[in-house]
């Protein structure tokens, strides 16, 4: 009886050992597919964006590369000119796309180089472009890392190199004046001036102010008209805009000469003025001279004329 149980127990023990080994292999296989395979797939699908230069001036061309590595079963599309919101605060200029490349490991690479420009003056600007990923009729958006670029200042402060030279040489001084008579004469002139001021002060002040406003406007209009009749380029456009800002600042209580176009837009809610200033910024900093540049300068001339007329009415009715 003991011998019979021992003979039967040996096969049962062997079957139990095999079953445990198969169960251990199955658990390792399931763990690999639940953790290892998704990790490998995640490593394949990566996207990276990078500016190719560390800094740039306002209006200059900027190169930005976008590279995505992915599995071969995915279809990838990069943004183009129609996706303008993706490029803010930059503006799209051109996209150079390279054909998809697939290596021996089955990893595909899509890449493109973008030419962008910016007219914003923030010291550091950031960008993170996405890619459209298509699979089985579904489209998802996968964004690249956030990269930054430094904006070089337009105006650079230069140190004062003037030197003061002392002069201790003797200088001959003429004889003094008869101060009592001089003071009496000055006092008489002042009294007469005060009397005339109280009698005709308002009319004199208004006439003088109106004459000064007219003379300043004629000077501005003549100078601005010469710019319009001449050959327009980025330098001429910049001088025209500076002349316009200086004149408007002289008749309005707004510091135009220290304001950027964006600050003027925030201060003065005028859509036509905003569009004109943007066109001129493109001409000055991006050298994009076209018919819109001249039209924008003509609008600034009309805007200055309207401001002058309003100032004249304000002085007359004061």
Quick: pLDDT tens for 70-100. Answer: 998 899 999 999 998 999 999 999 999 999 9
In percent, the amount of the chain with pLDDT more than 70 equals 83
Q: Residue 204 pLDDT > 90, yes or no? A: no
Average the pLDDT over 198-206 and give the result: 83
Asked if the structure places residue 33 within a domain, the reply is: no
Shared-domain flag, residues 109 and 220? no
Quote the distance between the C-alpha of residue 202 and its chain's center: 48
Shared-domain flag, residues 207 and 142? no
Number of H-type helices and E-type strands within the chain: 7, 10
For 187-197, write each residue's pLDDT tens digit: 999 999 888 88
Pairing of strands 138-143, 107-117: unpaired
Shared-domain flag, residues 301 and 212? yes
Shared-domain flag, residues 201 and 133? no
Average the pLDDT over 142-157 and give the result: 85
pLDDT at 179: 83
3-state secondary structure of 67: strand
Average the pLDDT over 254-281 and give the result: 91
Give the number of domains in the chain: 2
Distance in angstroms (rounded) separating the CA atoms of residues 53 and 124: 13
Phi, psi of 123 (to 5 degrees): -60, -40
Distance in angstroms (rounded) separating the CA atoms of residues 47 and 188: 86
Contact of 143 with 127, CB cutoff 8 Å: no
Provide the b/e sequence for 7-23 (b: ≥16 CB within 10 Å): eeeeeeeeeeeeeeeee
Asked if the structure places residue 234 within a domain, the reply is: yes
Contact of 296 with 279, CB cutoff 8 Å: yes
What 8-state DSSP symbol labels residue 159? P
Shared-domain flag, residues 135 and 65? yes
Asked if the structure places residue 3 within a domain, the reply is: no
Shared-domain flag, residues 206 and 303? yes
pLDDT at 6: 41
pLDDT at 155: 64
3-state secondary structure of 97: strand
Among 132, 152, 172, residue at a domain's last position: 152
pLDDT tier, 62 (very low <50, low <70, confident <90, very high otherwise): very high
pLDDT at 276: 93
pLDDT at 31: 38
Q: Residue 268 pLDDT > 50, yes or no? A: yes
Shared-domain flag, residues 216 and 124? no
Q: Residue 2 pLDDT > 50, yes or no? A: no
Shared-domain flag, residues 62 and 143? yes
Q: Which domain holds residue 79?
A: 46-152
Asked if the structure places residue 34 within a domain, the reply is: no
Asked if the structure places residue 272 within a domain, the reply is: yes
Shared-domain flag, residues 146 and 203? no
Shared-domain flag, residues 224 and 312? yes
Shared-domain flag, residues 144 and 229? no
Question: If you average pLDDT over every residue of the chain, what do you get?
Answer: 83
pLDDT at 176: 72
Shared-domain flag, residues 125 and 231? no
3-state secondary structure of 132: strand
Cα 105 to Cα 63, 111, 134, 135, 167: the distances in Å are: 30, 18, 21, 20, 83
Give me the half-sphere count of Cα atoms (radius 13 Å) on the Cβ side of residue 2.
Answer: 0
pLDDT tier, 150 (very low <50, low <70, confident <90, very high otherwise): very high
What's the start-to-end Cα distance of the chain, in Å? 131
CATH assignment of the domain containing 53: 2.60.40.10
Q: Residue 263 pLDDT > 80, yes or no? A: yes
3-state secondary structure of 233: coil
- 287 versus 23: which is more confidently predicted? 287
Average the pLDDT over 195-213 and give the result: 86
Asked if the structure places residue 222 within a domain, the reply is: yes
Among 152, 187, 221, residue at a domain's last position: 152
Asked if the structure places residue 8 within a domain, the reply is: no
Lowest mean pLDDT, pick from 1-5, 159-163, 168-172: 1-5
Asked if the structure places residue 295 within a domain, the reply is: yes
Is 0.95 surpassed by the pTM of this model?
Answer: no
């Amino acid at each position: 009886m003991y011998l019979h149980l021992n003979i039967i127990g040996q096969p049962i023990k062997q079957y139990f050992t095999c079953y445990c080994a198969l169960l251990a292999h199955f658990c390792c296989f399931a763990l690999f597919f639940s953790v290892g395979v998704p990790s490998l797939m995640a490593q394949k699908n990566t996207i990276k964006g990078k500016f190719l230069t560390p800094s740039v001036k306002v209006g200059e061309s900027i190169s930005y590369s976008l590279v995505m590595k992915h599995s071969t079963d995915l279809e990838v599309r990069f943004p183009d000119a129609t996706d303008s919101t993706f490029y803010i605060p930059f503006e799209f200029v051109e996209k150079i796309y390279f054909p998809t490349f697939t290596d021996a490991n089955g990893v595909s690479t899509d890449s493109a180089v973008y030419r962008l420009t910016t007219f914003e003056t923030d010291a550091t600007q950031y960008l993170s472009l996405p890619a459209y990923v298509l699979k089985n009729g579904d489209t998802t958006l996968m964004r690249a890392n956030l990269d930054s670029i430094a904006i070089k200042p337009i105006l650079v402060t230069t140190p004062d190199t003037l030197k003061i030279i002392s002069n201790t040489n003797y200088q001959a001084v003429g004889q003094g004046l008869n101060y009592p008579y001089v003071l009496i004469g000055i006092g008489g002139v002042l009294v007469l001036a005060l009397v005339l001021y109280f009698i005709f002060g308002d009319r004199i002040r208004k006439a003088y102010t109106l004459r000064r406003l007219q003379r300043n406007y004629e000077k501005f209009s003549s100078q601005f008209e010469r710019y319009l009749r001449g050959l327009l380029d980025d330098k001429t456009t910049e001088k025209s805009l500076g002349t316009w800002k200086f004149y408007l600042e002289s008749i309005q209580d707004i510091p135009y000469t220290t304001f950027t176009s964006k600050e003027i837009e925030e201060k003065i809610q005028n859509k036509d003025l905003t569009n004109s200033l943007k066109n001129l910024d493109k001409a000055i900093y991006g050298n994009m001279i076209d018919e819109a540049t001249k039209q924008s300068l003509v609008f600034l001339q009309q805007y200055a004329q309207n401001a002058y007329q309003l100032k004249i009415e304000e002085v007359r009715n004061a």
